[in-house]
Amino acid sequence: MKLKRFAALALSVAMLGLAGVGTAAAFPDKPVTLVVPWPAGGGSDTLMRMIAEGATGSLGQPVVVVNKPGAGGSLGLREVAESPPDGYTMSMVATGFIAEQYGNPNSPTLDQYKVVAFIGVDPAIIAAGKDTGIKTLEQLVAEGKAEPGKLRNANDQAGGTAFVAASLMEIALGIDLTLVPYQGSAPVVQAIMSGETQTATPSVTDLIAQHKAGEVTILAVAGAERHFLAPDIPTFTEAGFPLVTGTVRAIVVPAETPDEVVAKLEAAIMAALGDEDFKKRATAAGFSIAPLGSADATAFLQKMDEDMYPVLLEAGLVKVRQK
Amino acid sequence: MLTEFSTLALEVLTSPWLLGLGVCATLLGIILGALPGISSTMTLAVLLPFSFSMSPHVAMIFLIGAFYGSVYGGSISAILLNIPGTPGSMVTQLDGYPMARRGDAGQALTYALMASTIGGLFGIVGLMLFAPILAEAAFAFQSPEYAVIMVFGLSMLAYASPGSTYLGIMSGILGLALGMVGLDVVTNLSRFDFGIHRLQGGINIIPFAVGIFGLAEVLRLLEKPLDSDRSASRIVSLWPSIGQIAARFGTAIRSSAIGLLVGIIPAAGSAVAVSISYAQEKKLFGKRETFGDGNPRGIVAAEAGNNACVGGALIPLITLGIPGDTMTAVLIGALLVHGLRPGPDLFVEHPDFIASIYVALALTVLVTFLLALPLMRVFARLLSVPPRILHVGVLILCVTGSYAVQNALFDVLLMIFFGGAGYLLAKVGVPTAPIMFGLVLGPVLEENLRRTMIVYGDWSVFLTRPICAAMLAVTVLIIAFPLITALRQRLTPT
């Protein structure tokens, strides 16, 4: 009898111990959520669904995309930052998040996250409408300097990716554009094609077809190198105006998430990003895939945060958390 | 183009696998569309990964089928349960639900289906015959014109509200105010969030509409003893007479035209289209007929506009490579994965592909019609479920639907708040529909008005741009006409 009780107790203790070890070793033992802080159907959403599909295979548990849109992504991001740091909730962050930190008191900050992996940068572009007659970056600079503020640029809301890109370009080119906000990339394309604005600063994918048809002219790409969809278009750096900006995408978890759990997620996402089939599909859709692991990705985002701060400050977008 | 269209159409019609896929996709679309909170955009985004392995032609049949099916499906829950399945169907319920309560659920569904089909066909014709012209014409519409269209829509609604015009205008203004909550589109600063950070995302139209119509209705029904609530369970007849349908044909055509045109505008969306087409019919027939208490014309206006919007949204996609709304944006995503980049050259480079879009849309309009005919009887029968069970079901759909839109519990709280508000407002006789119109049209008006000011810097632009000036003149005439008539009657000696 006594022995039996002892055995039971020993067994329970052993089980408890095992369970303790098990949480890290057995991760993941339920589906993992990947929060996309924008509505379903956008470019980032499409890419995340493709990555989730791949990561499901290597993680052994389903990775489920959940859209939590609102307030430029800060609602969903805040929810993830405050969620249990157990690795079961990840989120995607993009360029706009860096700006939101300083523009919105409710936005989480970069140090509230651990960066799991970096996906790539879709470079921003600057394009000029057909009726403007502007065909090169030099012409744009000349026109922009002749009458500051006369050229209107189509971009997203203050602090958005295209807005930040346009602000950076104004500084790099030494010109002054009137920034006109539109909601999303479709209205931006419509605006430059209809002539409501003379220039636009969306992603390559948004305007490459219109460029090839001669409806607009993409003047330069803000990538480190030329874009695979537009090999004939020079980069800003080549044209003599060093500038790299665009839609940066990375996957993050709450900062307190244990390192071994992050490592597992990192491995799964890196495997998904390295898959040939995935690469082919993503490239066809125009996404630049340049994966970085957790350590490099963290360094990248930190540097981006430092680089963008002065720009945001100059554009009057630092309203909270002054450095 | 015609040869490509006919060869492809023949290929699809003779292939059991493609036909089957079209039927399945449409059925899936109808069901997901009928579920509150699952919008057409979400339906497409969720189904998108399944299309990756299909060829572009097959993917279009699959996605456009689900797209159009869900646009129609939204009307089912709107009519039967007073909960909009999709944003585009929220106007359908204004007259559809009262009709169903009267025992005419079958007829209401038939009107919705007829109008949807006419709207869908109108959209196809517009897309196939006039796409390039309409796309060019759309360029004449820029921010100032959009702003004026919204003013036009709002002014007609104010004058056509049932009951007191002043109360109608007041609740319209309340809707405009609600539309201001959230991040400012220009400065990105938060407005009217009362320190609740969730309100920064603005007030989503679905939790609002589900609360103010769906939940408020359940609260109203609680007042009555359960046994008295038998009216809705009788399905008197499924079919209105031919004459009754024919009498609303003009409405269907006018609303289809509006749906098609609004569909072309990027980022306007079906909620705006149905608001304007409903407003127009109210203005035209407001004298002779009452709206909002089960007028079939209201259903026809909303559904024809809603479904014609699909064809309209595809026009800028195939001619310019710009998505006309969020649904077509997902379609572009599907094309990109296949390496097809829609742009101004798509017509020249891939005519076969354009043909497959036409075929897919034509097929799904047809399939929806044929599927819905037998299904309507089943749907209408839903209402013969005992009220106590039906009401619990409605409550569940109210909660899950509000949650599903943005996966946010806050939206459920918002829905409950608006449910309570809608119940109380109706008690004191304030019409709630104008609030919804204000909430839909207000933000579009504000955005375009402020953009006009940034671009042109001057109010005179509204008088110097011909389309603006003409539409403003019409708006002023519409507002002034009843006043002038009244004045003349008073001045004429009797």
CATH code of the domain covering residue A102: 3.40.190.150
Q: Distance from A71 to chain B by nearest Cα, in Å?
A: 4
In chain B, positions 228-287, which contact chain A (CB-CB < 8 Å)?
Answer: 266-267
Partner residue opposite B185 with nearest CB, options A69, A103, A181:
A181
Which residues in chain A have Cβ-Cβ distances shorter than 8 Å to B344?
209-210, 213, 215
**Domain identity same for B134 and B188:** yes
- Distance from the Cα of A106 to chain B's closest Cα (Å) equals 6
**Contact: B138, A194; criterion CB under 8 Å:** yes
**B233 CB-side CA count, 13 A:** 13
Optimal mutation site among B38, B52, B188, interface A, most CBs of chain A within 10 A: B188
Indicate whether B431 and B489 sit together in one domain.
no
Q: Are A194 and B139 in contact (CB under 8 A)?
A: yes
- Structurally, chain B folds into a number of domains equal to 2
Which residues from B are below 8 Å from A286, CB to CB?
336, 341
In a domain, residue A53? The reply is yes
Environment class of residue A30 by beta-carbon count within 10 Å: exposed (0-12), middle (13-18) or buried (19+)?
A: exposed
Residue A219's pLDDT is: 96
Give the Å distances, CA to CA, from B248 to A120, B94, B95.
Answer: 54, 17, 14
- The CA-based diameter of chain A, rounded to the nearest angstrom, is 97
**Between residues 125 and 154 of chain A, which touch chain B (CB distance below 8 Å)?**
152
Domain of A159? 125-221
pLDDT at B286: 76
Q: Please tell me if residue B343 touches chain A, with a CB cutoff of 8 Å.
A: yes
pLDDT tens digits, chain B, 494 residues: what are they?
677 788 888 888 888 999 999 999 999 999 988 888 778 888 888 888 788 888 888 999 999 999 999 999 999 999 998 988 888 888 999 999 999 888 888 889 999 999 999 999 999 999 988 888 887 777 888 899 989 988 888 877 666 555 677 888 888 899 999 999 998 888 888 899 898 888 988 998 889 989 998 899 889 888 877 655 555 455 556 777 788 888 899 999 999 999 998 888 776 778 889 988 998 888 888 778 888 888 999 999 999 999 999 999 898 888 887 777 778 888 887 887 777 777 777 777 788 888 889 999 999 999 999 999 888 888 877 777 887 888 888 899 899 888 988 888 999 999 999 999 999 998 998 888 889 888 988 998 999 999 999 999 889 999 999 999 998 998 888 777 777 777 887 887 65
> Using an 8 Å Cβ cutoff, are B328 and B357 in contact?
no
Which residues does chain A have with pLDDT short of 70?
A: 1-25
CB proximity A302 to B under 8 Å:
no
Do B212 and B311 share a domain, yes or no? Answer: yes
CATH of the domain at A178: 3.40.190.10
Q: How far apart are CA B20 and CA B181, in angstroms?
A: 46
Instruction: Report the residue of chain B nearest A191, measured CA to CA.
Output: B142
Q: B342 in contact with A at a CB cutoff of 8 Å?
A: yes
- Would A9 be classed as within a structural domain? no
Residues A39 and A96 in one domain: yes
Q: Does A285 touch chain B (CB under 8 A)?
A: yes
Do A36 and A58 share a structural domain? yes
When CB atoms are compared, the residue of B202, B329, B345 closest to A212 is B345
Query: Quick one: A145 and A92 in the same domain?
Result: no
Q: Is residue A13 in a domain?
A: no
Does any CB of chain B come closer than 8 Å to the CB of residue A62?
no
B400 and B449 co-located in one domain: yes
**Does B451 lie in the same domain as B465?**
no
Do B188 and A104 count as a contact with CB atoms less than 8 A apart? yes
User: A309 and A256 in one domain?
Assistant: yes
- Does residue A163 fall inside a structural domain? yes
Kindly state whether residues B437 and B475 are assigned to the same domain: no
pLDDT at B227: 59
Pairing of strands A216-221, A125-129: antiparallel
Distances (CA, A) of A210 to A196, B65, B142, B293, B318: 16, 28, 19, 48, 12
Q: Which of B40, B55, B200 to mutate to test the interface with A (most CBs of A within 10 A)?
A: B200
- Closest-CA residue to B272 (of B114, B443, B118): B443
- Does A187 share its domain with A114? no
Residue A20 lies in a domain: no
Task: Confirm whether A320 is domain-assigned.
Answer: no
Q: What is the 3-state secondary structure (H, E, C) of B83-134?
A: CCCCHHHCCHHHHHHHHHHHHHHHHHHHHHHHHHHHHHHHHHHHHHHHHHHH
CA distance B220 to chain A (A): 32
pTM, whole model, 2 decimals?
A: 0.84
Q: Does B483 touch chain A (CB under 8 A)?
A: no
Does the beta carbon of A103 lie under 8 angstroms from any beta carbon of chain B?
yes
Is A235 among the domain residues?
Answer: no
Together in a domain, A109 and A173: no
| B195 and A CB contact within 8 Å | no
Alpha-carbon gap: B367 to the closest alpha carbon of chain A (Å)? 25
Which residue range(s) make up the domain with B332?
Answer: 2-457
3-state secondary structure at position A126: strand
Which of B188, B345, B407 is facing A72, going by the closest CB pair? Answer: B188
Query: CB distance A50–B44 less than 8 Å?
Result: no
In angstroms, the separation between the Cα of residue A55 and the nearest Cα of chain B is 14
> pLDDT value at position B180?
94
Shared domain check, B470 and B327: no
Residue of A nearest to B141 (CA): A194
- Inter-chain contact B200–A74, Cβ cutoff 8 Å? yes
Residue A6 is predicted with a pLDDT of 59
B53 and A CB contact within 8 Å: no
Asked if the structure places residue A4 within a domain, the reply is: no
* Facing A186 at nearest CB: one of B141, B201, B323: B323
Domain count of the fold of chain A? 2
| B354 shares its domain with B472 | no
A35 and A112 fall within a common domain: yes
Whether the CB of A83 is below 8 Å from some CB of chain B: the reply is no
- Out of A75, A157, A213, name the one closest to residue B343 (CB): A213
Last residue of a domain, which of A176, A206, A221?
Answer: A221
pLDDT of amino acid A20: 42
Choose among B321, B343, B455: nearest Cβ to A196.
B455
Phi/psi of residue B229, nearest 5 degrees? -90, 70
User: What is the C-alpha separation between B268 and B447, in angstroms, rounded?
Assistant: 11
| Kind of pairing between the strands at A63-67 and A199-200 | unpaired
Interface A:B, Cβ pairs < 8 A: 167
**A207 and A146, same structural domain?**
yes
Give the closest-approach CA distance of B204 to chain A in angstroms: 9
Query: Which pLDDT tens digit goes with each residue over A295-321?
Result: 999 999 999 899 888 888 887 888 888
B380, B466: one domain:
no
CA distances from B438 to B284, B300, B402 (A): 20, 21, 20
The CA radius of gyration of chain A, in Å to the nearest whole number, is 23
Q: Which residues of chain A neighbour B444 with C-beta distances below 8 Å? A: none
ipTM of the complex: 0.83
Please check whether residue B119 is in contact with residue B303, taking contact to mean a CB–CB distance below 8 angstroms.
yes
Are the Cβ atoms of A104 and B346 closer than 8 angstroms? no
Residue A177 DSSP class: P
Q: What are the backbone angles phi and psi of residue A254, rounded to the nearest 5°?
A: -55, 145
* A56 and A116 fall within a common domain: yes
Q: Residues B75, B90: contact at Cβ < 8 Å? A: no
Residues B368 and B469 in one domain: no
Give yes or no: residues B40 and B65 share one domain: yes
Residues A116 and A258 in one domain: yes
Using a CB-CB cut-off of 8 Å, the residues of chain A touching B346 are 209
Asked whether the beta carbons of residue B455 and residue A152 sit closer than 8 angstroms, the reply is: yes
Cβ-Cβ contacts under 8 Å, A182 against chain B:
267, 451
Q: Are residues B115 and B264 in the same domain?
A: yes
- Verify that A166 and A211 share a domain, yes or no: yes
Do both A256 and A214 map to the same domain? no
Residues of chain B numbered 90-149 and touching chain A (CB < 8 Å): 138-143
Reply yes or no: is the peptide bond before residue A28 cis, omega within 30 of 0. Answer: yes
Q: Is B338 on the interface with A (CB under 8 A)?
A: yes
Using a CB-CB distance cutoff of 8 angstroms, which residues of chain A are in contact with residue B455?
A: 152, 178, 180, 196-197
